[in-house]
Chain A
Amino acid sequence: MSIEAQVSPGTVEGENVSEEIGGPAILVLEDGRVFHGRSFGATGETFGEAVFNTGMTGYQETLTDPSYHRQIVAMTAPHIGNTGVNDDDPESGRIWVAGYVVREPARVPSSWRAQRTLDEELRRQNVVGIALKGTRALTRHLRDRGAMRAAISTVETDPRALLARILEQPRMAGSDLAAEVSTDASYEVLPPEGVETRFHVAAVDLGIKAMTPQRLAERGCRVTVLPASATAEDILALDPDGVFFSNGPGDPATADGPVEAMRGVLDAGRPLFGICFGNQILGRSLGLGTYKLPFGHRGVNQPVIDTRTKKVAITSQNHGFAVDAPLDTPFDTPYGRAEVSHIGLNDQVVEGLRLLDRPVFSVQFHPEAAAGPHDAAELFDEFVDLMSAQPAPAAK
């Protein structure tokens, strides 16, 4: 199985950027629904799980978020690409979405930071896109019937033939993808100049976004980012003050390796913080189940209530799976009592977990934002506070 977008000959990196855009393209869903549109970005054919994102800003961050690996992302906001593409805003080294669906791609970017157009960038990175009128109809379809497998093609004109190929693709449920997006080798992110290094954090990259280590570094953390394959021994060998498990793509039910590693960290009693996939890994480590949401939460306007303070944060979210836990009462786990710390107000989904007797918590949403509001940024402070409250490690 090919994970990368399958591209037609002649659209390899760097070539054809001047090729006329706007040739016919189709988007086909696994239940047979077909949308006709025009080619946008690279030409070719690509497969993935069709999902929609409701953010009105932040397409660059969305495209480069590794959690979108193997997904065809449809933007509900009609005008995309208005601010072009710059080299500062990506959340990783490349675009991860398998395909991109928009309604009105910008022709002229307008931003003092723009370096090139989105169309150029999609071509440069061989990402197949489609511009089509019915993005709202597509969204309603996915909302009512759930996220599903799909394909975009600028080369296939027969939707039935494309549908046959879609049905051969793996489903998202059961997919183990973290390793595919994770860093190959560990690397460090240091606090910016003028910020004192107070803690050392080991961050397990299951599809980490660049903003996450940066938010930690801004708070005085030296962050060592480790590959998804890192074991508890690898992590603890760094003797970190705290351990972080990142966001990432795929079905958490398949992530046995990271669960194993996290249990080792929990056993060692180190402060631990997880985001998104990391929250699901914590759920599994505590013995909780995970399940696939019908169409997921993808956007930057998701309200989440803190069950202790009753304060609401507007959060950035990107998840298709969720943790199954009792919402209203603390529950027992192998690591002591735990509770649901945050709940999504739109649909009462678990959006955070907290151990009551240990310095361990995680959230399903993205406090690092990028894209999205900064309402929950203080969670990084909370993690730093947990590390501060720990007795200093015996020896460094």
Chain B
Amino acid sequence: MPRRSDLSSVLVIGSGPIVIGQAAEFDYSGTQACRVLKAEGLRVILVNSNPATIMTDPEIADATYVEPITPEMIEKIIAKERPDALLPTLGGQTALNAAVDLHEAGILAKYDVELIGANIDAIQSGEDRESFKGIVERIGGESARSRICHTLQECLDAAEELGYPVVVRPSFTMGGAGSGFAHDEAELRRIAGQGLALSPTTEVLLEESILGWKEYELELMRDTNDNVVVVCSIENLDPMGVHTGDSITVAPAMTLTDREYQKLRDIGIAVIREVGVDTGGCNIQFAVHPATGRIIVIEMNPRVSRSSALASKATGFPIAKIAAKLAVGYTLDEIPNDITRETPASFEPTLDYVVVKVPRFAFEKFPGADGGLTTTMKSVGEAMAIGRSFPEALQKAMRSLEKAGVGLTWAGEPGDKEELLRSAARPTEHRLRQVQQALRAGATVEEIHESTKIDPWFLDQMLRLEEMARVLAAAGKLDEELLREAKGLGFSDVQIGEITGKHEDVVRELRHALGVHPVYLTVDTCAAEFEARTPYLYSSYDEETEVPTGDRPKIIILGSGPNRIGQGVEFDYSCVHASFALSDAGFETVMVNCNPETVSTDYDTSDRLYFEPLTLEDVLEVVRAEQATGQVAGVIVQLGGQTPLGLARRLQEAGVPIIGTSPEAIDLAEDRGEFGKVLADAGLPAPKYGTAYSFEQAKAAADEIGYPVMVRPSYVLGGRGMEIVYSEAMLADYIERNAEVSPEHPVLIDRFLDDAIEIDVDALYDGHDLYLGGVMEHIEEAGIHSGDSACTLPSITLGREDIERIRYSTEAIARGTGVRGLINVQYALASGVLNVLEANPRASRTVPFVSKATAVPLAKAAARVMAGSTIAELRAEGMLPAQGDGGDLPADAPVSVKEAVLPFNRFIDKHGEGVDTILGPEMRSTGEVMGLDTEFGPAYAKSQLAVNGTVPTQGRIFVSVANRDKRSMIFPVKRLADLGFEILATEGTAVVLRRNGVQATVVRKHSAGTGPDGEPTIVQLIHDGAVDLIVNTPFGSAGQAGPRLDGYEIRTAAIVRGVPSVTTVQGLAAAVQAIEARVRGDIGVRSLQEHAQALTAERQGS
């Protein structure tokens, strides 16, 4: 049946900030859905607190609310917009949970909003483990034996019955948060305790262990006519025991006969029907016993999921897009397959290639975090690769990770076989490499299977790699046939060089001389049965290339690769914008990326998509293929973060035309000496710094600069390894811990500007004019990585004169380094001096936030500047405001606050305890939210609501601050007391407060233990839910016991219980303003479109 005519407006809920387990894939699905619904003529109303998304671009929906995803705020939006329906299945678990909350609060009924794409019963029966188990039984399937428990005692009893080890799975959590294997009672107490706390329903499921079984997933879709199709089957290379998000996964399933596959398909279809998923996508996971074939249904997600994004990219079947169409009434057979255009969506894609997805982790960001992989997802990103064989796809995927130490390599010695087999038994991010090294060291497939339980078929495919490597090593010379064979197994030029003792460039030249190049094949959903219209390509050393020819000049945009901390969805946002803007300007756009979670790898985004690793070799081949079929006007490297930037120079050396800021200028900004000259020429101050190759040199430099100093390894990203050092002893400790300090790896020592205001600037420069995109004032003081700091735009304390200095300095730096396009500069304003901390001649993480806050498409404008337009032209065209810029926003301009979201709740240390949550110079946040309102208080309140879900307006506040913060804490705490909060404090803090007229209840420190009459410690109070806000500023240094340890216990308890926590005095002042705004109750909602309209009117009026 055609689209429902009774619907005219739909509210779509996004997934909020990027967190582990819920990442950019929901921007991809949400963007698709909004576009589809809009194209169907529906008014689309969107709520999502994450500004770094394409879906929150004002043109994607009709009314875009960058507001917290809480029932309270959504009700305000519903009351204002009165949508006919709510589509909650495309915004991950966040959206689904919000829909359930809205239903339970009676809000949907009150405003007569129909839930589409899912119904409450289906959501609950799919997500509630007990009822899901019943469903599996009813359809004749089997679940793991399990018990639902609501208390620790029930858990202990159940484990006795099921036998250890048992799996613990909390209900209603994302990414398997809080899940784990308990091998004994002590582990069970810990894991189940945390699981009960994490579950919103205080419910965990204990399950028999199916560790080591084969793991599969099916992605299904159902329409209102009860047609069901399986879009994709996925097999996990890592057997059961590792969360599927942390597993290496392969599509299609590789080791099932048709009979077994059809059994999974039958069960999947029966489940989706029995659960009652009305329309849309759904994901079902299975475990299959490797020796008996016994099938266990693990779980299902009655919504679009991370796996469905992967399945969409893997097959070319756009699940989210189709789900949106099904939700408004179409049936599968009425929807054409985009790729063939002639066949319908009611079919099952068939692949003539293999897809491999590998996760990317960030354990190094969380010192002390245990690197073991479990059923709790810990990866922060993923790369996907496509090849015509599993080895080819695996090799491409592994090199797409761009992470030293985890890829497959033949350099150096493999290590001891027995040791490798032992370490590979425990899944970590290094396991695949350990397997490969074990093969190098002579281990057999049987031995590795015994150790890892990885299916022998996969291991034999890896053995093919090892055998090829031996043939290469033994070959006297590389001839065409041998090279083709090696390339067909996915060997990179680098690897061939490792094996044959040649440099990558030599291998490449040899290969080119022999005419050995990859061809590009189409992802077409149908294994070439029908002609594909959508150019979605991947490389393979195969027979026949399928790159179409074109007549428009082409611009190739290099994406940002797998998401990682410090390089996330924000960069994808800029790449996508560039593609849109350049397409509008008449170019043919070509995207190269390997991240399946993103909008950039949606085949709808660019004229052509190459799903390829972002290495020199792979990019050069894409450029070659494009040059062979038309004119390449240029390659853009400055929008995708460090990944493409790191390739710039070598691409240029290979003759590739780089547009925008030149590779020389990029290097100049990274070179301290050269950059120092630029600053000196312009008369700009920078903090004193030194470079040290030994402790002695470091000590000398620090003495000269004066403590505290900021130390870090040279050439780092995202503040990796960066620390603030207050004393010589700490410096010695740092150098000792970073033992690789050497002539190649010096340590940089900077003056640390205590009590400085940190300022982040994004600007555009065309060689002549500067457009100041936005000036962001950090809320936390300098010393906390800019990515982890909250910031506000416009700035709230800087004067006009400060802004003019910033404008002058930024322009001087842009001119001095030779920027063409975007530049990001970080400043620290201390004692009236504007110090330049660093400059990055590229798109920054804050570009989407600035674009939304100022209603100017900065990345689009940057792409145009790179392609040759001037800022004056873009102003005339209307892409940039006719006059003024982000530095002189009207006085009445609304205030936008960006706040970081941190993943501490995902990590535990070797003892199973939480990792510390203190912010520092090393970036740890995975995502961000934006709060937008007329002034700072409510805007900040929204940012905190979006992160924590709550800003308390009454209750108890616990205060414990470092001595140096005691003075600045008095006024805000007094204000909180005046607002009616009960103040709890440790003894020292309480005394200070009392002397200043603030009554504070003294509570026991954790280190003091429970009192003689059973008085609880602060940590116990937090666990009891008796504390509503925690103010705790850290003091002391790493490794010290006492106060620091107390702080650690408090902060980790806060994380476990989800109690909002303030860790800086600046944050406290902001929190007070937020609380005041909440108490006043004047927090409204306003769409970005209304916001842009108002801002434009103001600009024109001024």
Contacts and interface: CB of A to CB of B under 8 A. Distances in A.
B252 A56 contact: yes
B697 interface: no
Interface string A137-162: 10110010000000000000000000
B493 to A, nearest CB: 20
Contact of A372 (B256, B258, B290): B258
Contact of A111 (B255, B464, B531): B255
Contact of A82 (B346, B349, B457, B488): B457
Given A57-B256, A108-B456, A136 B542 contact: yes
Interface residues of A, number: 55
A303 B333 contact: yes
Interface stretch (A183-191, A281-289, A309-317): A309-317
A311 B226 contact: yes
A310 B388 contact: no
B630 interface: no
B344 A134 contact: no
A80 B528 CA distance: 18
B292 interface: yes
Contact of B352 (A35, A77, A301, A369): A77
B353 A346 contact: no
Contact of A345 (B343, B351, B526, B542): B343
A337 interface: no
B255 A82 contact: yes
Given A108-B445, A108-B456, A109-B457, A58 B257 contact: yes
A345 B342 CA distance: 9
A355 B268 CA distance: 34
Interface string A29-63: 00000010000000000000000101111101100
Contact of B388 (A55, A103, A312): A103
B345 to A, nearest CB: 9
A314 B348 contact: yes
A369 B262 contact: yes
A54 B527 contact: yes
A215 interface: no
A192 to B, nearest CB: 17
B257 A312 contact: no
A387 to B, nearest CB: 26
A165 interface: no
A300 B253 CA distance: 15
Interface string A149-185: 0000000000000000000000000000000000000
Nearest to A88: B259
A110 B254 CA distance: 9
A111 B257 contact: yes
A81 to B, nearest CB: 10
A137 B542 CA distance: 9
A330 interface: no
A143 B529 contact: yes
Contacts of B258: 55, 57-58, 60-61, 89, 300, 370-372
B262 A372 contact: yes
B347 interface: yes
Given A77-B351, A106-B457, A57 B544 contact: no
B347 A78 contact: no
A56 B226 CA distance: 24
Interface in A199-238: none
A299 B525 CA distance: 13
Interface in B341-366: 342-344, 346-354
A76 interface: yes
B911 to A, nearest CB: 38
B869 interface: no
A305 B223 CA distance: 14
Interface string B531-543: 1000000000111
B544 to A, nearest CB: 4
Q: Which of B255, B457, B460 has the most CB of A within 10 A?
A: B457
B212 to A, nearest CB: 14
A369 B266 CA distance: 12
Nearest to A297: B529
Contact of A133 (B262, B293, B531, B541): B541
A106 B326 CA distance: 40
Contacts of B261: 57
B984 interface: no
A139 B455 CA distance: 30
Contacts of B255: 82-83, 110-111
Contact of B526 (A54, A103, A311): A54
Contacts of B1041: none
Nearest to B340: A346
B257 A83 contact: yes
Contact of B389 (A52, A78, A111, A137): A78
Contacts of B331: 310, 312
Nearest to B521: A136
Contact of B528 (A139, A305, A372): A139
Interface in B502-544: 521, 526-531, 541-544
Contacts of B445: 108
Contact of A373 (B265, B354, B457, B541): B265
A260 interface: no
B227 interface: yes
B456 A134 contact: no
A92 to B, nearest CB: 15
Interface in B477-507: 488
A300 B529 CA distance: 12
Contacts of B256: 57, 83, 111
B436 to A, nearest CB: 17
A35 B488 CA distance: 16
A265 B96 CA distance: 58
16 contacts: A61-B258, A76-B352, A77-B351, A78-B388, A79-B390, A86-B257, A109-B457, A111-B255, A136-B528, A310-B225, A310-B331, A311-B226, A346-B342, A371-B262, A373-B262, A374-B266
Given A135-B352, A136-B527, A371-B258, 9 more contacts: A79-B254, A83-B255, A89-B259, A103-B388, A107-B464, A108-B445, A133-B543, A136-B542, A311-B227
